[in-house]
Amino acid sequence: MIFVNRHRELARLDRVAKAAKQGEGSLVVIWGRRRIGKTRLLLEWTQRTGGLFWVAEESAAPIQRQYFAEAVAAHLAGFADVEYRDWASLLSRLASDAAKARWWGPVILDELPYLLSESPELPSMLQRFVDDDAKRAGLVVALAGSSQHLMQGLTLDENAPLYGRARELMRLSPILAGHLGRALAMRDPFRIVEAYALWGGIPRYWELAAPFRNSRKAAEALVLDPLGALHDEPSRLLAEETPSALGLRPLLEVIGAGAHRVSEIAGRLGQPATSLSRSLSRLQELDLVTREVPFGEPERSGKRALYKLADPFMRLWFSLVAPKRALLLQAPRAMRLQLIDEMFPRLCAMAWEDLCRQAVPRLAKKFGVAFGPAQRFWHGTGPEWDVVASDPHGHALLLGEVKWLTHIPSSSAIEKMVHALMAKGTPPIQHSPRAPIHHALFVPRLPSKVRSPGAHIHLLDARTVLASLHD
């Protein structure tokens, strides 16, 4: 698959490379969940710089050092001719040889957690290396890993050896949906939203789905088929965290099954609600769960907070695979496709809502107002709004309705949906009574000829939403 997006990340890495050419050694730390594209980004940077990219393996420390020395020898001749008794001697020699060769790197160590599991003393050695030898040699060192808990702890914990030493700290996020069409050679915005509802913004999933011409067939072959490459994906993601996060899987299962409030999650697990705080926080840290509060509610408020699966792929997996593992072991392909067809509209509707809210701050030209982040609003048994946003100064309010329709609605149907949105009134939130209210109706496809509903009323389709979702 072609390399897409990550232009901002590459620009930041290129700034590090530019400084290195002037003799400034530095440390770069990159992390993010598995499949997010860390390795591809670093390989791209390596090709641009002529640096060293090395992936650690789960092996004994002496073997890890031997493999690393052999990789270094491709850039620094003779480096692997000796056996290194510890990491301190290897790193010291690396800085010395790099300085003599006037080679600044970068030296990229991927899957750092594998090294730390065998050599827990390595962070302290890296601290001394970065502070002294590498700095004098003008060497750039980049550390990467998929264990988000461990990688963040190494660099963001003020008691950690590497705290405050990185020139660049990058936590990679999923790629925006606006790049998905190019990656999968899709042009129809409606079909792109369908694909996003299955794969989210995870480039490795895009790569696996690329050979398939049909999203539902890709999901059947890769996810529902017991032999599929992603059939056991959540277990792998959780097991490869450090420490293992497999114990959190029951929370994902009950959230995926529809329990969103802490009390509901606790009830289904048979645990007190007060015992779930740390586990839910870690799932948020892993980008697997998101915590949602109504628009205007303080972020830390727990009264009406909802917990949802953050990733479209996880929603697919915990909706279809987790509750039907036994059935899928025996089900023929036709039945697996039928299961997808039954769940697909719901998955698409949730993904479409996500995309519409993501797009709001990027549609200033369309609205004529620069709105901030959009959220849902709900309160008791009152009306709900799919999209609520305000401009930073509170001078305008946006109220939106999101509809996932598999057909192109008629102009009269559009008018009825706009009327129903406006008939809801205004949610009970703080806003200036003089602030103009904008209304927005999001539908994936609009009729070719639709009459303008009036001032401050906006109609947005999938093409417009996706076009805004680029870096």
pLDDT for the residue numbered 376: 97
Q: What is the pLDDT of residues 262-318, one digit of tens each?
A: 999 999 999 999 999 999 999 998 889 999 999 988 887 777 899 999 999 999 999
**pLDDT above 80: residue 185:** yes
Cβ–Cβ < 8 Å for 471, 5: yes
Cα 11 from chain centroid (whole Å): 19
SS3 assignment, position 429: coil
Cβ–Cβ < 8 Å for 319, 341: no
pTM over 0.85: yes
Contacts of 74 (CB under 8 A, 6+ apart): 52
Contacts of 458 (CB under 8 A, 6+ apart): 366, 367, 438, 439, 440, 441
The size of the chain, in residues, is 471
DSSP H or E stretch at residue 70: helix 61-73
Q: What is the pLDDT of residues 432-466, one digit of tens each?
A: 778 899 999 999 999 988 877 778 999 999 999 99
Characterize the bridge pairing of strands 52-55 and 107-110: parallel
Mean pLDDT across the chain: 93
Contacts of 287 (CB under 8 A, 6+ apart): 32, 33, 148, 173, 174, 310, 311
CATH architecture of the domain with residue range 187-346: Orthogonal Bundle (1.10)
Q: How far apart are CA 113 and CA 150, in angstroms?
A: 7
Maximum distance among all alpha carbons in the chain? Answer: 79
What tokens were used for 147? 């264990």
pLDDT for the residue numbered 157: 85
Domain map of the chain by residue range?
7-171, 187-346, 356-468
pLDDT for the residue numbered 2: 65
399 φ/ψ angles, rounded to the nearest 5 degrees: -120, 125
Cβ–Cβ < 8 Å for 437, 454: no
What tokens were used for 340? 């997808």
Q: Measuring CA to CA, which residue among 59, 292, 34 is closest to residue 146?
A: 34
What tokens were used for 319? 């909706």
For the chain, percent of residues with pLDDT exceeding 90: 80
Q: What pLDDT band is residue 410 in, cutting at 50, 70 and 90?
A: very high
pLDDT for the residue numbered 244: 83
pLDDT for the residue numbered 1: 59
Determine the average pLDDT of the residues in 182-194: 96
Q: What is the pLDDT of residues 374-388, one digit of tens each?
A: 999 998 888 999 999
Q: How far apart are CA 65 and CA 412, in angstroms?
A: 70
Residue 261, burial from CB neighbour count under 10 angstroms (0-12, 13-18, 19+) = middle
* Angle in degrees, CA 191, 192, 196, rounded to 5: 120
CATH architecture of the domain with residue range 7-171: 3-Layer(aba) Sandwich (3.40)
Torsion of CA 5, 6, 7, 9, to 10 degrees: 170
CB atoms within 10 A of CB 220: 23
Q: How far apart are CA 183 and CA 385, in angstroms?
A: 33
Contacts of 8 (CB under 8 A, 6+ apart): 471
Q: How far apart are CA 53 and CA 51, in angstroms?
A: 7
**pLDDT above 90: residue 146:** no
Task: Tell me which long-range contacts 325-329 makes (C-beta under 8 A, separation of at least 24).
Answer: 328/224, 328/225, 328/226, 329/226
CATH architecture of the domain with residue range 356-468: 3-Layer(aba) Sandwich (3.40)
Determine the average pLDDT of the residues in 152-181: 90
Place of tokens 């639709």: 450
Q: What is the pLDDT of residues 23-45, one digit of tens each?
A: 888 999 999 888 899 999 999 99
Q: What is the pLDDT of residues 333-353, one digit of tens each?
A: 999 999 999 999 999 999 999
Determine the average pLDDT of the residues in 91-107: 95
**pLDDT above 80: residue 471:** no
pLDDT for the residue numbered 111: 92
